[in-house]
């Protein structure tokens, strides 16, 4: 162990900082945000904390080779081929698909020799994290491991350092036992036993926690001594409200208003073009609204901020292309000289997202499955005039917001179109009152509290 060992450690695939060339032979550091960042900052100076993460790009790897680092961050330069197999081959193409139930089962998955090769890389990747954590942690330190990328780390780390208090948090849904059973039996058991190496496992909703427990009862005979907890991450109200009123957001609002046109209602969605987000069915529902409720033609605009995701995987590229194709088709079919039915933006722009939140009359959040979905929680917090929320019952946020949202089955396009109509016709007073309650529920466990609650529970 190192002399100046860490008392609190976080491990995640993506860290709080990334590096890129500055054009002058140096490296520029860009810091991220989110619950873990604000949570660590809330700990104070009484404990040394360390964030262990992977070098994700050439800039990060060059930073590691040059010995460039930020205080409290250790970046691991794992072989790029190993990282690709673990991250793209297993984490995003298998574990993500299982937990979000995305497979077209007549054709996929196929667990063959290539899968086994990639699973070996996933083990190597997880072991690199476990070894780094074991080397950096003080006696009895608290280690908080994040997400499906690092599911094997708790078990590996427990073998190396039985003195540590180890937690793992799942930011995704957890698959039902029958669907989890798609995995090869030995892999399913290895995955669960890896997580059960933790003292405590955290999930975003009771539904996901119960699904994990059911998998363990079927595969490993139970959860043993590992404790299970639920922490429903909420929106950071103070940050969002301040950030949403900066000049760059006002500038984006003016641009969006010009694209929407005077006096029109807005249906807003803000998503990555991730398969589970269900953007295509959302567009189909909007198209059905225009077809079956012609009174909304030229009176409503669908603002779709669809930011490309995981474009190194062909299935995601194809999905992004389908989103663009369908939006174009709707505009060509229904658009007029003065009205564009769907306004699409694909360049990731947080200021534009906040501008859309403020302008939204209706927020459409209809994922197939989602661990939580913070968009559903963020829109009511910053909405200027109140916003009706159309929310999938398969989003984790449903369990916090369902009473005041208009709930939909994400596969039911006709039902979603009817929900959009109900949202657009909701009386102003009711919409304002619902927004107030949604905002209160959405901010009940802000990021700092969410993180510290987990840390307290792990130490308790």
Q: Is the pLDDT of residue 1 over 70?
A: no
b/e per residue, 433-449, with b = 16+ CB within 10 A?
ebbeebbebbbebbbbb
Share of the chain above pLDDT 90, in %: 85
Phi (first) and psi of residue 8, to 5 degrees: -130, 125
DSSP 266: E
Check residue 35 and give its pLDDT. Answer: 62
Check residue 389 and give its pLDDT. Answer: 98
Q: Is the pLDDT of residue 3 over 70?
A: no
Taking residues 335-363, report their average pLDDT: 95
To 5 degrees, how large is the angle CA 340–CA 345–CA 346? 145
**320 near 311, Cβ under 8 Å?**
yes
C-alpha 76: how far from chain center? 23
Res. 316 pLDDT band, cuts 50 70 90: confident
State pLDDT tens for residues 388-429: 999 999 999 999 999 999 999 999 999 999 999 999 999 999
The strands making up 165-170's β-sheet, listed across from edge to edge, are 73-76, 49-54, 6-11, 137-146, 165-170, 200-203, 227-230
Mean pLDDT of the chain: 94
Give the pairing type, strands 27-31 and 17-21. Answer: antiparallel
Taking residues 128-154, report their average pLDDT: 97
Res. 34 pLDDT band, cuts 50 70 90: low
Res. 314 pLDDT band, cuts 50 70 90: confident
Residue position matching structure tokens 């933006």: 345
Check residue 31 and give its pLDDT. Answer: 82
The DSSP code sequence of 134-192 is HHHEEEEEEEEEESGGGTTHHHHHHHH-TTSEEEEEE-S----HHHHTTS-HHHHHHHH
Q: Is the pLDDT of residue 39 over 70?
A: no
**275 near 172, Cβ under 8 Å?**
no
Phi (first) and psi of residue 3, to 5 degrees: -65, -45
Res. 32 pLDDT band, cuts 50 70 90: confident
Check residue 309 and give its pLDDT. Answer: 77
The residues facing 170 across adjacent strands are 203
State pLDDT tens for residues 53-74: 999 989 999 999 999 888 899 9
Helix (H/G/I), strand (E/B), else coil: 57 = coil
State pLDDT tens for residues 231-283: 999 999 999 999 999 999 999 999 999 999 999 999 999 999 899 999 999 99
The contacts of residue 17 (CB under 8 Å, 6+ apart) are 29, 30, 31, 32, 70, 73, 75
State pLDDT tens for residues 68-113: 888 899 999 999 999 999 999 999 999 999 999 999 999 999 999 9
Check residue 188 and give its pLDDT. Answer: 98
Cα dist from 14 to 34, 60, 93, 146, whole Å: 12, 11, 17, 10
**452 near 38, Cβ under 8 Å?**
no
Pick from 287, 258, 283, 288: which is nearest to 269 by CA?
A: 283
Q: What is the pTM of this model?
A: 0.94
Taking residues 344-359, report their average pLDDT: 93
Check residue 312 and give its pLDDT. Answer: 75
Q: Distance between CA 454 and CA 219 in Å, rounded?
A: 26
Check residue 40 and give its pLDDT. Answer: 64
Check residue 415 and give its pLDDT. Answer: 98
State pLDDT tens for residues 281-311: 999 999 999 999 999 999 999 999 998 877 7
């Amino acid at each position: 162990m190192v002399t100046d060992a860490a008392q609190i450690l976080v491990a995640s695939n993506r860290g709080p900082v990334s590096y890129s060339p500055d054009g002058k032979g140096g490296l520029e550091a860009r810091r991220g945000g989110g619950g873990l960042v604000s949570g660590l900052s809330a700990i104070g100076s009484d404990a040394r904390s360390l964030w262990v993460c992977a070098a994700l790009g050439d800039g990060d790897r060059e930073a590691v080779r040059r010995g460039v680092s930020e205080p409290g961050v250790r970046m691991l330069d794992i072989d790029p081929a190993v990282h690709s197999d673990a991250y793209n081959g297993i984490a995003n193409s298998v574990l993500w698909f299982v937990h979000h139930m995305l497979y077209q089962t007549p054709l996929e998955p196929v667990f063959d020799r290539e899968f086994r090769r990639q699973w070996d890389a996933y083990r190597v990747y997880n072991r690199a994290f476990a070894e780094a954590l074991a080397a950096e942690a003080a006696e009895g330190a608290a280690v908080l491991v994040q997400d499906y990328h690092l599911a094997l780390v708790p078990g590996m780390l427990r073998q190396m350092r039985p003195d540590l208090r180890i937690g793992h948090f799942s930011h995704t849904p957890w698959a039902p036992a029958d669907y989890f059973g798609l995995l090869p039996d030995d892999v399913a058991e290895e995955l669960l036993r890896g997580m059960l190496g933790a003292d405590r496992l955290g999930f975003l909703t009771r539904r996901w926690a119960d699904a994990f427990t059911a998998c363990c009862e079927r595969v490993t005979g139970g959860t043993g001594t590992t404790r299970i907890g639920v922490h429903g991450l909420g929106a950071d109200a103070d940050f969002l409200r301040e950030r949403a009123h900066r000049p760059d957001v006002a500038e984006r609002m003016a641009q969006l208003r010009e694209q929407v046109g005077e006096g029109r209602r807005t249906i807003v969605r803000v998503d990555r073009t991730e398969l589970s987000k269900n953007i295509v069915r959302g567009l189909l529902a909007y198209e059905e609204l225009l077809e079956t409720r012609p009174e909304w033609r030229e009176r409503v605009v669908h603002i779709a901020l669809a930011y490309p995701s995981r474009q190194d995987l062909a299935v995601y590229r194809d999905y992004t292309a389908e989103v663009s194709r369908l939006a174009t088709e709707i505009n060509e079919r229904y658009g007029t000289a003065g009205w564009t039915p769907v306004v699409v933006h694909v360049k990731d722009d947080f200021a534009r997202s906040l501008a859309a939140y403020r302008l939204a009359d209706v927020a459409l959040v209809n994922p197939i499955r989602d661990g939580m979905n913070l968009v559903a929680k963020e829109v009511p917090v910053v909405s200027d005039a109140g916003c009706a929320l159309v929310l999938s019952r398969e989003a984790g946020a449903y369990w916090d917001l369902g009473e005041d949202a208009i709930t939909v089955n994400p596969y039911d396009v006709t039902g979603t179109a009817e929900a959009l109509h109900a949202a657009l016709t909701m009386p102003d007073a009711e919409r304002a009152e619902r927004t107030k309650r949604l905002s209160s529920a959405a901010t009940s466990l802000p990021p700092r509290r969410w993180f510290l609650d987990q840390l307290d529970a792990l130490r308790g």
